[in-house]
Amino acid sequence: MFGTDRRVLVLALARMADAVANSFLIVVLPLFIASGGVDITGLVGSTVPVVGLLVTEELLIGVVLSLFGLLNSFGQPFTGRLSDRTGKRKLYVLLGLALLAVASLGYLYTDDYTVIVGLRMLQGVGAAFTIPCTIALVNELATETSRGGNFGVFNTFRLLGFGFGPVVAGTVVEAGPYRFPVVGGLSGFDAAFLVAVVGALVSFGLVSLLVSDPEETNATAGEELGLAVRDPNGRHLLDPVFAIAVATLCLSVGIALFATLQGRINARLGQAPVLFGLQFAAVVIANVVFQIPIGRASDRYGRRPFLLVGSALLAPAVLAQGLVTTPVGMLAARTLHGVAVGMVYAPGLALAGDLTGEGQSGTQLSLLTMAFGLGTALGPLVSGYLVRFGFVVPFAFGGALGLVALGLVYTQVEETLPDAGGSAEAVPQD
């Protein structure tokens, strides 16, 4: 199906189910805490020791959401390296999914904020195992002539799950409470947590039954993390995989600038919240539409041209969001932004995979997934701070990051082409 290895397609479906479960909690947990389902009366109004920061409900919600992203992002190089050293991918994917399922189930049985924090941290650790090992599996199941297409399919299903989850989550919570003949009453929140559990278990079942580690995956890594910053070949200042990771960070910060500014955007454009939702989704929709064809085209025509064009589109697409004055203009800018992201992310993963040595996929590719996660965590903070200097300032900053990404790709990244032996090597662009 889609001209993709069956195991890659299974991983994509599993990642979609997992993404639905995770995106559920992004919507449900803030509502759960704000509804009074969690006891925070002793915390709100107090001050954080040393820094003297006043504790608010919003701060407590932010801590719960941010902990997942931080543990997930910073843990990935270590879990990726662990999978490299042991030569195991499937085992750690299953471990991560099990942790996600157990933590999601735990939300049904507590109203203690500190326990909620602990469960969210456990989920962050679970995602840190699942994400880099899944990406490494996709990379190792592909060849140089199919890697772009495989990553395109994988990212398409992941984005479908992440985009679809919040819509379903809101519906499930709103439609509660539920009555069942055997289990009795079930609140909308409990039903949503159960859906998250089911999503993780579906992923676990698919991977357990239909995915296996490639026979050629070997534990060849050393004791150190083995993440290079400088180019070991001396052709450039930066290691090309590290350069792609930094470009990915710039890209993901630009994506995440938008969500924080909903109120200001709606007021500026004179639009209803439903239009904001459509504009927000436009980046994901464009990604879903273009990921597979762009990935396939990068297998045929090379990765670097798509990285360059996509990076060049980022700056005007993000800046335009701070300049447009109509809902249609914002929708167009967001759609162009989504096309740019699609041209960078899948070919970037494929190029990094081309350059990754045997037994190094977990470590090297975790740089890109970590960078993407950090960017989506930092973006809302950046826009929330910069908007005080003017509406256009956060988007101008995001546009500047697009130029940084373009500069990195142009100066630090070379094309890769398969040699006669079937392995990829850098091809100088001079």
pLDDT in tens, 159-177: 787 777 777 777 788 787 8
What is d(CA 369, CA 158) in angstroms, rounded to the nearest whole number?
13
Burial of 109 (0-12, 13-18, 19+ CB in 10 A): exposed
Q: What is the 3-state secondary structure (H, E, C) of 263-278?
A: HHHHHHHCCCHHHHHH
pLDDT over 50 (residue 423): no
**Element housing 346 (H / E):** helix 327-355
The average pLDDT across 119-137 equals 89
- Render the burial of 180-203: b for 16+ CB within 10 Å, e for the rest: eeeeeebbbbbbbbbbbbebbbbb
pLDDT over 50 (residue 200): yes
The more confident residue out of 216 and 121 is 121
The average pLDDT across 27-54 equals 77
pLDDT over 90 (residue 322): yes
pTM (2 decimals)? 0.76
- DSSP class of residue 415 equals E
pLDDT tens across 350-366, in order? 888 887 766 667 777 78
Beta strands in 294-430 (DSSP E): 415-418, 424-427
User: Could you tell me the pLDDT band of residue 97, with boundaries at 50, 70 and 90?
Assistant: very high
**pLDDT number for residue 220:** 53
Phi, psi of 44 (to 5 degrees): -65, 130
What is d(CA 247, CA 341) in angstroms, rounded to the nearest whole number?
11
What's the token pair of residue 94?
């299953």
- DSSP class of residue 145 equals T
**pLDDT number for residue 25:** 75
What is d(CA 404, CA 178) in angstroms, rounded to the nearest whole number?
51
Q: With CA atoms as reference, report the closest residue to 220 among 39, 111, 364.
A: 364
Q: With CA atoms as reference, report the closest residue to 234 among 430, 359, 412, 358.
A: 412
Mean pLDDT check: name the lowest of 188-192, 331-335, 362-366, 398-402: 362-366
pLDDT tens across 367-381, in order? 888 888 888 778 877
What's the token pair of residue 146?
């199919």
The average pLDDT across 243-257 equals 89
Q: How many CB atoms lie within 10 A of CB 352?
A: 28
Q: How far apart are the first and last CA of the chain?
A: 39
The more confident residue out of 379 and 407 is 407
What is d(CA 412, CA 1) in angstroms, rounded to the nearest whole number?
35
What's the token pair of residue 172?
């499930």
Q: Which of 76-85, 255-264, 315-324, 410-419 has the highest mean pLDDT?
A: 315-324
**pLDDT number for residue 217:** 60
Q: What is the number of H-type helices and E-type strands within the chain?
A: 13, 4
SS3 39: strand
Which residues face 415 on adjacent strands? Answer: 427
pLDDT over 50 (residue 424): no
Axis crossing angle, helix 90-106 with helix 57-86, rounded to the nearest 10: 160
Q: Which residues contact 39 (CB under 8 A, 6 or more apart)?
A: 111, 112, 113
The more confident residue out of 398 and 5 is 398
